Amino acid sequence: MRSFAAVMSYGLATPVGALVARSAKVPDPPFRWSGVKGPWFDNNLACLEVAPEGLKLWWQTGVVDGGDQLHPGLKLVSSVTVAPRRAEEPASGRP
């Protein structure tokens, strides 16, 4: 029963959220979410930077080189820059 509830909540969350946002006249974000790969199942640190060229997102994971547990490092898993939409560009999926 618990897994059924989880599936239903994820399955209904997107369309219900879109309906609520549309009825509240929430504007579309000024960027598109495409080109993001995944999922990654190890522990990752997600970073976000707002820059003139758009939203820069990157994911890093912890690494231990040479068994040196006292000095771990970070390794880049993936990165993407989400460019802003132009003002005249319509939002996807809406008239």
Q: What is the pLDDT of residue 1?
A: 59
Given a contact cutoff of 8 angstroms between Cβ atoms, the answer to whether 13 and 24 are in contact is: no
**CB contact burial 13-52 (16+ within 10 A = b; e otherwise):** eeeeeeeeeeeeeeeeeeeeeeeeeeeeeeebeeeeeeee
Q: What is the pLDDT of residues 44-53, one digit of tens each?
A: 899 999 999 8
Q: What is the pLDDT of residues 2-17, one digit of tens each?
A: 665 665 555 666 677 7
What value does the mean pLDDT of the chain take? 78
Average pLDDT of span 72-92: 81
95, pLDDT greater than 90: no
Given a contact cutoff of 8 angstroms between Cβ atoms, the answer to whether 44 and 60 are in contact is: yes
Q: What is the pLDDT of residue 48?
A: 95
Q: Where are the domains of the chain?
A: 2-82
Residue tagged 């560009």 (tokens): 89
